[in-house]
Copies of this chain bind each other. A is one copy, B any other.
Amino acid sequence: MTLAHVSRLRQALREAGFDGWIQPRADEFQGEYVPASAARLAWLTGFTGSAGISIILKDKAAVFSDGRYSIQLKEEIDLNVFQPCHLVTNPADDWVSKNLAPGEILAYDPWLLTEAEVKRFAAAAAKAGGSVAAAEQNLVDKIWLDRPPPPATPILPHPLEFSGVDAVKKQEEVANEIAESEATAALLTQPDSIAWILNVRGSDVEHTPLPLSFAVLGSDASIQWFVNPDKLVEQTRNWVGKNVQIEHINSFADSLKEYNDKSILVSESAPAAALAILRSNGANVIIGKDPVALPKAIKNKVEISGARAAHKRDAKAVVRFLHWLSTEGQSGEVTEIEASDRLESFRRSLDLFKDLSFPTISGAGANGAIIHYRASEAKEFKLQRNSLYLCDSGAQFLDGTTDITRTVAIGLPSEDMRRTYTLVLKGHLALSAARFPKGTTGTQLDTLARAPLWEAGLDFDHGTGHGVGSYLSVHEGPHRVSKAASTVALTPGMILSNEPGYYRAGSFGIRIENLLLVTEIDIPGSERESYGFETLTLAPYDRNLIDISLLSQTELEAIDLYHARVRNELAEYLSDDEAGWLVSATAPL
């Protein structure tokens, strides 16, 4: 089928006078999820992963994705049509520079690429003696006859009992930042930023409760909100302030022509098309950070209480699930999907539950070593005896977003599994216990979570932590904990994950994840404003996987203290059976 799609695309390219097409996975909002109407990469190539890009030339084509999807990529694409490539070791721009012929024109939809991406492809095409060109019409959309309509789900108010701060106050605060950067307005192209600053939520994409829209926030705190008006229920029209001028999303591009001679702040993730319109109409474009990202990341008091409550609620489901895993889950007959369905069913009964916060990663045995594994109905992997089971999952509650990973022994774990689990746990505990002065970034703390693995010559190839939204995206910036350099200081109110891991390809995977809240801490004799973490997630670590001989006294005490807290905070919400199990699961080591 994809062959037919590619043939039609090639014909459309010929008709338009082009020789190739760049099809990224992203849509114009550059978010983690795209609606069905924007799943162009999947429609064209069959590849459904969350990161990727395809280049279609006259007589060859390739799909690029990262290491998480190397197996899935080969399974999903037609290898007679597409060459599967690794985004990092064989980047798409390199491939273009080697495969485009002199004089050929590689076309793209400028709404789907950032300016930096366009520049990279332009340089690659030039190297090959060719060029790139922005297509006036998206050629995939042109040939995709049964393309679903864009989502038009209702946008609802996110009331103050969950959002905590009046939208107008948020808008004024960010407007001051914009004024300080000497811009007259900021272009907001990230839908979660817009959802936050308007105190609204939607359901245009899976797992992240946001409406797809654009906005322009003026330095005078006025807002133009570009949105499909069909999504606006009466309640929401009344909810957003009078300073919010509602415009049809279709008029967004034209509206950008009005910024001639004005300075406008635009983030690096904005579509190249928007920048091209601004620049060609004489706007002074200031490329900067999305000014909403930082204030959104620093949760207010209401959001913090919400996060605590949501995590406590979520923990009931997780502990029931861990109890179930420790009993029925030990049979050797449970499948990965049965397990994740079970967890989901526990979560669905919880108050304020709206959705999972991402597709559950339910990885038995060797599948646990696939970092973003997704179980498939087609292959019924079982949680076999004497193996590890890794489950990374989370929920969207109206009052907060959760994300937790636990790795559990099914049957008897090997010594090697226990040793490596304990090394991962030591890193996880070290990060949780960190105290650090104001100004410290996640990059600086990342090492704490890796040092015990490094000591043994081991490591893991993903970040240690990401920011988490408040009933918003489970992955949000601008802070993170990773090897990659970050200049964003961890600030009280930020929520982030703490998820070191260890993966032995073909054998087993380990990841341990809690969410942390950055808090101010009071250290007697301190000379610096010092911060630390409050752990939000409440669920025991698997004691069968802990090798006590590898732990320091401090680490042992930290585990016992955390386990006691889990027990005390949850016992009353559990059945007798579950509570009984929790008592033994959290007994001092």
Contact = CB atoms under 8 A, between A and B. Distances in A.
Contact of A443 (B443, B448, B523): B443
Interface stretch (A88-96, A191-199, A433-441): A433-441
Interface residues of A: mostly helix, strand, loop or mixed?
Answer: loop
Contacts of A457: 435, 437, 523-528, 530
Contacts of A525: 456-457
Contacts of A451: 434, 448
A86 interface: no
Contacts of A439: 483
A457 B483 CA distance: 24
Interface residues of A, number: 30
A456 B487 contact: no
A388 to B, nearest CB: 17
A435 B454 contact: yes
A146 interface: no
A485 interface: yes
A28 interface: no
Interface in A449-496: 451, 454-459, 483, 485, 487
A552 interface: yes
B459 A528 contact: yes
A236 interface: no
B456 A437 contact: no
A450 to B, nearest CB: 8
A444 interface: yes
A483 B444 contact: yes
A455 B448 CA distance: 13
A533 to B, nearest CB: 13
A459 B437 contact: yes
B527 A458 contact: yes
Most B CB within 10 A of own CB, among A434, A437, A457: A457
A446 interface: yes
Contact of A454 (B437, B443, B455): B437
Contacts of A434: 451, 454
A456 B532 CA distance: 12
A455 B459 CA distance: 25
Contacts of A448: 447, 451
A444 B450 CA distance: 10
Interface of A: 434-437, 439-440, 443-448, 451, 454-459, 483, 485, 487, 523-528, 530, 552
17 contacts: A435-B455, A437-B454, A437-B459, A439-B483, A443-B443, A445-B447, A447-B448, A454-B530, A455-B523, A456-B523, A456-B526, A457-B527, A457-B528, A457-B530, A458-B527, A459-B527, A485-B485
Given A444-B483, A445-B447, 16 more contacts: A435-B454, A437-B454, A443-B443, A444-B446, A447-B448, A455-B523, A456-B525, A456-B526, A457-B523, A457-B525, A457-B526, A457-B527, A457-B528, A458-B528, A459-B528, A485-B485
